Structure 1
């Protein structure tokens, strides 16, 4: 047996034990601190409401030229609500910080579970680290505007990584409280924008954006590809299942509540943008101004102070998403380390807070390394014609990684839908009807597979914001970065089955063997 296999076996057989500087593996009593509101906030924070409105909605208008963008959020919300039926039903029987990984392992087999775990790790890391690109650019730009201070984009990123890292090794309800405050403030400023938009309405209270005829047009594929990113973080409810006060109810309720709030809020806010700017002008203005569109609107109609507050909350919106995705990555590392799929050290928690300390520190180190690579590369970057060099972290780090991460997470949701059917076929005595067992998961699988195909087909558009741009090496490399680890994981799962049956049996079942270890 190799040293790696010995480490894996040790993780599978040790349930309490080993106190180290980082904390303990499996020590401590139950620390279930999160209720439905806290978990819902974690999901919404990951979707970053103000970031979606300022960045995602304006980009969708600009790139696709489709006025029906607002209606797409409702359509995607309905798809995810159908997905949530089977997902929530399965959450009553599978409680694991690995969430999608555990669901797939128990529904479709352990090798596929291991493959999905690596896809999830890469995707969540890509989303989290990618957001640092937009965060660094925005903070650096605002420091220059407000105080005349010029700092490289990577300086505020390193500060952000440090703060997120500190929150990551402390009690999860501390993160929930911080995110709760930030999310509430985001909602307030977006609601103010919405009200002002409907009040200004230069072309009247138009409902053109809500007309299905303006969505179901040739550009719908790109619209849905952009829109699905607004719902990322959807898995968070199940990730926090082990830390929820009542996992069998909390996960389902938080999932439905978050999807409903996100879908309706984004639909109304995107519609408000079309009304406030004018349906005939919103596409052109979005292409010209980008994220500054809503802040310039605020400055013109609500005053510069409100616009400045909006900029501050845009930064905190990004920060909230960073914290949420960081916590998700840390819990994936924890779950895989606990079960022996990855090194056992990743399964250690901090004794005082119960947080997955080693997983959190690992994600922090990864973020520093990737940001350092991009910072070095940016020194010699030549921007596309007409664009300033300051946009480097947005056009590369942010755009590349977040779109790759979104692709991976849609792939996972598609496979999870199929896994739900497989799980309930194996557990026919489970208390779930045909709608939850088969019909809803099958419908969700078809719908999500369609969105996945659309994302892949429009991946060049997502990377370049140019529908006429040719495919490049990046167009193929980035999806491969997400998909190839999944194939490697399947092979690793098969190797574990042959070489280390004890670890293999643990895959996707870690929380059952070592209950209440996290949080």
Structure 2
């Protein structure tokens, strides 16, 4: 039976943006999925997050955490996509929250989203720089400072962010296809050879192994790997048919990410064997992937992975730059940021001014990291990633609440499952995830004080956003009166 959808409502404190202040594009499901999966940086996660999850989490049971994470986020997506037809602007989380919980609260979480994604874009440069140095030295080049490679990638990202979204999507499609292909080949070879000396891993189907070690930490690292999947909604104005494209792209991205990570983590554990994989991830986490590649696809394959690891991080930066730029664009359309930032480029239809604004903030962040001699990985990236992780889960929780509130009195023709049961179950899962993150914040940020400082920064962003939203909303009402 088809569902009856009533007309969208405007519950915000300001009128919807005019057509000339909308972005233009013609993105289909595949293009948006490429954007989202590229933001997840598959090869970066495989080489960086997997060893941490295996070593600090639940060992050979780590692949199961991706199954759990995917289920939680799919439950979230059920309600998220149900609300999509009622949200007529490309603001993703903050637009969904604004539509249900009010203008000022929506703007508050919009500021949280902006801080989170700009922080992650800046932080990933801390991974990309050293990875780029590795590529240069691989081909016989000098051991140059990490920030020189970061600066080169920054220039290219700024250029692509200024142009039409189709150009970025093509670049991401090429890079993403290459990195998934090489990891897919590695997975197939490992499975075809029957894994290591102990054979293919059985930890994922053994409850004792799944619940061994620290399942909570394993789940935490798994959830980190999905950051940015909701970007399907941020490209609303540039999608061919938003009501169809956004839900399909959301489900496709989550399933693709979850399946890829679950299978690949299982294959990499199989390459060593259940017991040996944990020891290897603990003792040699930094070379966990390259050591496996050296054994199963030899030096040439390992060299390819070294290069694609660098391009994977670039793809991640580009994807998050596009997301952050569109958050700035969407917020500025409501006059909570300078209105000039919400004027699309006359030729490219891109948020060119918002893109340059984000680039400026990122440039300052990188410059400060260099000036204060921060370690690009253990300090610059880790601190910024911790801020994003907390902000991301908080945004998911707030959006889940927004869905439940919006459909509380009127299900708008949807089933109980879609707008009440599934979102509530997803909310419970996300609540547990947030508790796990906060209780492990010192490990993410490097110290307890710094971790809570990051939480305080997000709280300040929320409060400032609410205050600004209240003032803009009051001014709008006064003008209308």
Q: Normalising by the residue count of structure 2, what TM-score does the alignment of the two structures yield?
A: 0.92
Correspondence for 1:201: 196
Q: 1:421/1:257 Cα in 2 relative to 1: closer, same or farther (>3 Å)?
A: same
Correspondence for 1:265: 260
SS at 2:225 equivalent: helix
Instruction: Map residues 374-385 of structure 1 onto 2, 5 A cutoff.
Output: 374-378=369-373
SS at 1:253 equivalent: helix
Correspondence for 2:210: 215
- Range with greater deviation from structure 2 (324-333 or 483-492): 483-492
Correspondence for 2:441: 459
Instruction: Map residues 365-404 of structure 1 onto 2, 5 A cutoff.
Output: 365-378=360-373, 392-404=375-387
Q: 1:123/1:148 Cα in 2 relative to 1: closer, same or farther (>3 Å)?
A: same
Correspondence for 1:5: none
Matched, 1:159 2:152: yes
Do 2:42 and 2:180's aligned partners in 1 also have CA atoms closer than 8 Å?
yes
Q: 1:76/1:14 Cα in 2 relative to 1: closer, same or farther (>3 Å)?
A: closer
Correspondence for 1:340: 335
Do 2:58 and 2:209's aligned partners in 1 also have CA atoms closer than 8 Å?
no
* Counterpart pick for 1:122 among 97, 115, 125: 115
Matched, 1:241 2:223: no
- Range with greater deviation from structure 2 (441-450 or 143-152): 143-152
Correspondence for 2:172: 179
Q: 1:257/1:15 Cα in 2 relative to 1: closer, same or farther (>3 Å)?
A: closer
- Range with greater deviation from structure 2 (215-224 or 397-406): 215-224
SS at 1:339 equivalent: coil
Correspondence for 1:67: 60
Using the alignment, how far apart are the partners of 1:474 and 1:262 within structure 2?
A: 31
Correspondence for 2:463: 487
Shift of 1:65: 5.4
Correspondence for 1:43: 36
Do 1:341 and 1:503's aligned partners in 2 also have CA atoms closer than 8 Å?
no
CA deviation digits over 1:198-245, x for unaligned, max 9?
214221123123323322346122111111111111111100111110
Shift of 1:181: 1.0
Do 1:196 and 1:276's aligned partners in 2 also have CA atoms closer than 8 Å?
no
Instruction: Map residues 419-430 of structure 1 onto 2, 5 A cutoff.
Output: 419-425=402-408, 428=410, 430=412
SS at 1:487 equivalent: helix
Using the alignment, how far apart are the partners of 1:502 and 1:156 within structure 2?
A: 51
Using the alignment, how far apart are the partners of 2:176 and 2:359 within structure 1?
A: 23
Correspondence for 2:296: 301
Shift of 1:277: 1.2
CA deviation digits over 1:118-175, x for unaligned, max 9?
0000001111111110001111233234323121111111111110111101111111
Correspondence for 2:474: 498
- Range with greater deviation from structure 2 (161-170 or 295-304): 295-304
Using the alignment, how far apart are the partners of 1:431 and 1:246 within structure 2?
A: 21
Shift of 1:38: 0.7
Using the alignment, how far apart are the partners of 2:16 and 2:304 within structure 1?
A: 52
Matched, 1:410 2:386: no
Correspondence for 1:7: none
Do 1:338 and 1:347's aligned partners in 2 also have CA atoms closer than 8 Å?
yes
SS at 2:139 equivalent: helix
Using the alignment, how far apart are the partners of 2:328 and 2:428 within structure 1?
A: 30
Matched, 1:144 2:131: no
Correspondence for 2:10: none
Using the alignment, how far apart are the partners of 1:408 and 1:397 within structure 2?
A: 17
RMSD, aligned CA: 2.0
Equivalent pairs counted in the alignment come to: 466
Correspondence for 2:221: 226
Matched, 1:320 2:296: no
Using the alignment, how far apart are the partners of 1:172 and 1:342 within structure 2?
A: 22
Correspondence for 2:425: 443
Do 1:110 and 1:504's aligned partners in 2 also have CA atoms closer than 8 Å?
no
Shift of 1:502: 6.5
After the TM superposition, which parts of structure 1 deviate over 3 Å for at least 4 consecutive aligned residues? 11-16, 497-500, 502-505
Using the alignment, how far apart are the partners of 2:411 and 2:397 within structure 1?
A: 25
Do 2:444 and 2:451's aligned partners in 1 also have CA atoms closer than 8 Å?
no
SS at 1:425 equivalent: coil
Using the alignment, how far apart are the partners of 1:68 and 1:436 within structure 2?
A: 31
* Counterpart pick for 1:81 among 74, 79, 82: 74
Matched, 1:431 2:413: yes
Using the alignment, how far apart are the partners of 2:208 and 2:42 within structure 1?
A: 26
Using the alignment, how far apart are the partners of 2:209 and 2:459 within structure 1?
A: 34
Q: Which runs of 5 or more structure 2 residues have no equivalent in the other structure? A: 1-13
Correspondence for 1:96: 89
Correspondence for 1:517: none
SS at 1:283 equivalent: helix
* Counterpart pick for 1:354 among 339, 349, 352: 349
Using the alignment, how far apart are the partners of 1:150 and 1:105 within structure 2?
A: 49
- Range with greater deviation from structure 2 (193-202 or 309-318): 193-202
